[in-house]
Structure 1
Amino acid sequence: MMIKERINKLRNIMKEKNIFAYIIPSSDYHQSEYVGDYFKSREFISGFTGSAGTVVVTQEEAGLWTDGRYFIQAENQLKNSDIKLFKMGEEDVPTVEEYLVDKMPNDSKLGFDGKVICTKEGEKLAKKLEFKNVSIEYSYDLIDSIWEDRYALPSKPAFLLGTEYSGASFSEKLSRVREVMKEKNATTHIITTLDDIAWLFNIRGGDVKSNPVVLSYAVIGLNNVYLFVDDSKLNNEIKEELSKENVVIKPYDSIYEFVKELNENEVVLLDPNKVNYAIYNNISSNIQKIEGTNPTIMFKAIKNEIELENIRNSHIKDGVAFTKFMYWLKNNVGKIEISEISATKKLEDFRRQQDKFIEPSFDTIAAYKEHAAMMHYSANEESNYKLEPKDLFLVDSGGQYFDGTTDITRTIELGEISKEVKTHFTSVARGMIRLSKAKFLYGCRGYNLDMLARGPLWDLGIDYKCGTGHGIGFVLNVHEAPNGFRWRVVADRDDSCILEEGMVTTNEPGVYIEGSHGIRIENEIVVRKAEKNEYGQFMDFEVVTFAPIDLDAIDKDIMLKDEIDYLNSYHKNVYDKISPYLNEEEKIWLKEYTREI
Structure 2
Amino acid sequence: MTTAEKIDALRALMRERNLDAWIVIGGDPHQSEYPAPHWKTRAWLSGFTGSAGTLVVTPDRAGLWTDSRYFIQAAQQLAGSGIELFKLKVPGVLTHPEWLAQVLPEGAVVGFDSAIMPINQADELAEKLASKRVSFWHEEDLTALIWRDRPPIPTTPVSLLPLEFCGETRPAKFARIRREMAAYPADIHLISTLDDIAWMFNLRGSDVEYNPVAVAYAAITQTETRLFINPAKLPAKAAAALRADGVICANYDDFLPYVRNMPERAVVLVDPEKTSQAVKDATPDHCVLIGAPNIVLHLKASKNATELSGTRNAHLRDGAALMKWLCWLKQHLGKEALTEISIVEPLTHFRSQQAHFQGLSFYPIVGYQANGAICHYAAEPESALSISPEGLLLVDSGAQYLDGTTDITRTIALSPPTPQQKRDFTLVLKGHIAIATAKFPQGTWGAQLDALARIALWKEGLQYRHGTGHGVGCFLSVHEGPQGIRPENQTPLEPGMICSNEPGLYREGEYGIRIENLVVVVPAEETAFGQFYQFETISFCPIDLTLIDAALLTNDEIRWVNAYHHEVWEKFSPFLSGEECACLAEMTREISSF
Q: What is the TM-score with the length of structure 2 in the denominator?
A: 0.98
Aligned equivalent of 2:540? 546
What percent of counterpart residues are identical?
A: 45
1:12-91 equivalence runs, <5 A: 12-91=12-91
Aligned equivalent of 1:500? 494
Aligned equivalent of 1:515? 509
Aligned equivalent of 1:492? none
Cα distance, 1:504 vs. partner?
Answer: 0.5
Distance 2:103 2:254 in 1: 36
Aligned equivalent of 1:571? 565
Give CA deviations for 1:323-353 in whole Å, capped at 9, x if unaligned.
1111111221111111100012221111111
Aligned equivalent of 2:232? 232
Alignment-mate amino acid for residue 531 of structure 1? E
Distance 1:349 1:80 in 2: 38
Cα distance, 1:382 vs. partner?
Answer: 3.0
Cα distance, 1:450 vs. partner?
Answer: 1.6
Cα distance, 1:208 vs. partner?
Answer: 0.6
Are 2:541 and 1:586 equivalent residues in the alignment?
no
Of 550, 572, 590, the residue aligned with 1:556 is 550
Cα distance, 1:56 vs. partner?
Answer: 0.3
Of 523, 527, 530, the residue aligned with 1:533 is 527
Give CA deviations for 1:134-154 in whole Å, capped at 9, x if unaligned.
221112111111111111111
Alignment-mate amino acid for residue 363 of structure 1? Y
Q: Is the 8 A contact 1:482 1:497 kept in 2?
A: yes
Give CA deviations for 1:494-524 in whole Å, capped at 9, x if unaligned.
x431110111100000010000110001001
Are 2:319 and 1:325 equivalent residues in the alignment?
no
Cα distance, 1:458 vs. partner?
Answer: 1.2
Distance 1:517 1:131 in 2: 45
Distance 1:19 1:426 in 2: 53
Aligned equivalent of 1:100? 100
Cα distance, 1:293 vs. partner?
Answer: 1.0
Alignment-mate amino acid for residue 472 of structure 1? V
1:46-445 equivalence runs, <5 A: 46-445=46-445
Give CA deviations for 1:211-254 in whole Å, capped at 9, x if unaligned.
11110000111111111101111123322221133222111122
Cα distance, 1:160 vs. partner?
Answer: 0.7
Total equivalences in the alignment: 591
Q: Is the 8 A contact 1:204 1:213 kept in 2?
A: yes
Alignment-mate amino acid for residue 417 of structure 1? P
Distance 2:362 2:104 in 1: 38
Q: Is the 8 A contact 2:416 2:546 kept in 1?
A: no
Q: Secondary structure at the match of 1:511?
A: strand
Q: Is the 8 A contact 2:160 2:204 kept in 1?
A: yes
Structure 1, 366-375 or 549-558: larger mean CA deviation: 549-558
Cα distance, 1:575 vs. partner?
Answer: 0.8
Distance 2:360 2:370 in 1: 24
Alignment-mate amino acid for residue 347 of structure 2? L
Q: Secondary structure at the match of 1:575?
A: helix
Structure 1, 210-219 or 330-339: larger mean CA deviation: 330-339
Q: Secondary structure at the match of 2:454?
A: helix
Alignment-mate amino acid for residue 428 of structure 1? V
Specify every segment of 5 or more residues in structure 1 that has no aligned partner in the other structure, as ranges.
490-494
Cα distance, 1:121 vs. partner?
Answer: 1.2
Distance 1:507 1:175 in 2: 33
Alignment-mate amino acid for residue 219 of structure 2? V
* Superposed CA RMSD: 1.1
Distance 1:256 1:129 in 2: 28
Q: Is the 8 A contact 1:408 1:524 kept in 2?
A: yes
Distance 1:85 1:295 in 2: 36
Cα distance, 1:95 vs. partner?
Answer: 0.5
Q: Secondary structure at the match of 2:387?
A: coil
Q: Secondary structure at the match of 2:522?
A: strand
Of 564, 580, 596, the residue aligned with 2:590 is 596
Q: Secondary structure at the match of 2:534?
A: strand
Q: Is the 8 A contact 1:440 1:538 kept in 2?
A: yes
Runs of 4+ aligned residues of structure 1 deviating over 6 Å after TM superposition are none
Alignment-mate amino acid for residue 357 of structure 1? F
Q: Is the 8 A contact 1:546 1:578 kept in 2?
A: no
Distance 2:310 2:389 in 1: 37
Q: Is the 8 A contact 2:417 2:546 kept in 1?
A: no
Give CA deviations for 1:233-291 in whole Å, capped at 9, x if unaligned.
11233222211332221111221122111111311111111110011111112211221
Q: What is the TM-score with the length of structure 1 in the denominator?
A: 0.97
Cα distance, 1:103 vs. partner?
Answer: 1.8
Specify every segment of 5 or more residues in structure 2 that has no aligned partner in the other structure, as ranges.
none
Q: Is the 8 A contact 1:271 1:293 kept in 2?
A: yes
